[in-house]
Amino acid sequence: MAILDRVRDPGERTLAVVLLAPAFALLALIVVYPIGRIIYQSFFDARLSGGHGHRFVGLDNYRIAFHDTEFWTATWHTVAITLITVPAALVVGLGLALLANLPFRRRWPVRLALLLPWAMPLAFAGLIFAWFFHTEYGIVNDVVRRLGAGGEPTMWLLRPGWAFAAVCVTIVWKTSSFMALILLAGLTMIPRSLYEAAEVDGASHFQQFREITLPMLMPSIVVALIFRTITALQTFDIPYTMTRGGPADATETLAMLIHKTTIDYLDVGYGSTLAVAMFVLSLAVTTVYLRRLARTP
């Protein structure tokens, strides 16, 4: 900081370079080489254990992916999880944030409730929820039984539809905290005078929410959505620990397929190709958001 202080009021351009330099230096050090390598390897047949060596195959891996039904199934699951859990987490997260922002005498129970899911390590969150949905030892079925529903207990994680739903519920539980944290911070930045003025004008609570809260919160919402979307497209730990992608491939996501291809199949070339595909998908989706962000002055 002191060093920067000494550069007294440099021009906009110099200042921009100085301010952005640390960030880009770190990016260059840590991720530029790995990303370059992924892209490079995606053009090679690099099946490690087959003894095929490292052979340049051009776009073959991409052609294979295009005809690979498992890739499309996993992509579809990933997109479906994104379309379901991102809006759901936004709604739940917004509710949580509004609630946490209310003037309770003690705010910590609500704030802690908001933080705990976020603080639970991802892999263990998946394991704990898999336990909750377990046919015999899960509380979901225990509650169903106590409510007096007869018949055989439902095998939540063994039925494709239910397993998918259970995975989505867990993701929403875990990620709405993240949403809420960002939105809560956004809420605290809205000047109260706006509401006071609206009160005087006789605006209803709902009108105030629609006319003041939502628009003022938009930048935070966009930021939260960008990252929730990127992480949703990378969904891995929760389905991996809850269902292993099963039954069969009913809950297999793109990130799980990449993990399996790279770590279990040792097919580094094809794994890289799939990673590039995921990158393109993420980039396409987030560009829409980013354009909006970049436009605001």
Partner 1 sequence: MSPAARVATGLPANPLAGRGLRLAAAAIVVVNGFFPAVWILLTSLKTETELVRKPITYWPRNLTLDNYLRAFTDQPLLRFLGNSLAVALASTALSLVVAALAAYAIARLNLRRRQLILTAIVASSMFPLVTLLVPIFETMRALNLLNTYTALVLPYTVLNLPVCTLVLASFFEGIPRDLENAAMIDGCTRVGALWRVVVPLAAPGVFTAGILAFVNAWDEFLLALSLNANASMRTLPVGITLYQGEFTFPWPTISAALVVAIVPIAVLIALFQERVVGGLTQGGMKG
Partner 2 sequence: MQRFRLAFAALACAALAIAAVAPVANAATTLRVFSGGANQRPDLMRKLFDQYEAAHPGIKIDIETGGATSELQRQYLSTVLNAKDSAIDIYMIDIVNPAQYFGAGWLEPLDAYIGKADAVMKPYLPVYLQADVVDGKVAAMPGFADAMFMYYRKDLLERYHIAEPKTWDELAAASKTIQAGEKNPNLQGLSIQGAPIEGAVCTFLLPYWSQGREFNDASGKMTLDKTAAVKGLDKWLAMVDQGVIKRNVAEVKTPDTVNEFKAGQVIFAINWGFAWDRFQADKDSTVQGKVGVMPLPAMAGGKSATCVGGWQWAVSAFSKNKAEAAKLVQFLATPASSKFLAIEGSLLPTYQGVYVDPDVVKAVPWFKDAANVVIAGKNRPMSRDYGQVSDVIRTTTSAVLARSRTPEEGVAEIQSKLARVMR
What tokens appear for 156 in the block? 């939540």
Residue 214 makes contact with partner 1 by CB under 8 A: no
Least spacing, CB of residue 33 vs partner 2, in Å: 13
95 or 160, CB closer to partner 1? 95
For residue 191, with 0-12 CB atoms within 10 Å meaning exposed, 13-18 middle and 19 or more buried, which class applies?
A: exposed
Residue 37 binds which entry of partner 1, partner 2, none, with Cβ cut-offs from 5 to 8 Å by kind? partner 1
Among 18, 13, 14, 25, which residue's Cα sits nearest to residue 1? Answer: 18
Residue 155 binds which entry of partner 2, partner 1, none, with Cβ cut-offs from 5 to 8 Å by kind? partner 2
Least spacing, CB of residue 60 vs partner 1, in Å: 18
Residue 101 binds which entry of partner 1, partner 2, none, with Cβ cut-offs from 5 to 8 Å by kind? partner 1
Least spacing, CB of residue 204 vs partner 2, in Å: 36
67 or 192, CB closer to partner 1? 192
Q: Could you say which of 116, 149, 266, 288 contacts partner 1 (CB under 8 A)?
A: 116
Residue 245 makes contact with partner 1 by CB under 8 A: no
Residue 91 makes contact with partner 1 by CB under 8 A: no
Distance CA 188, CA 170 (A): 28
CA distances from 213 to 102, 184, 191, 207 (A): 14, 11, 10, 9
Q: Any alpha helices (H) in 28-59, and if so which ranges?
A: 33-41
The answer to whether 225 and 289 have CB atoms below 8 angstroms apart is yes
272, β-bridge pairs: none
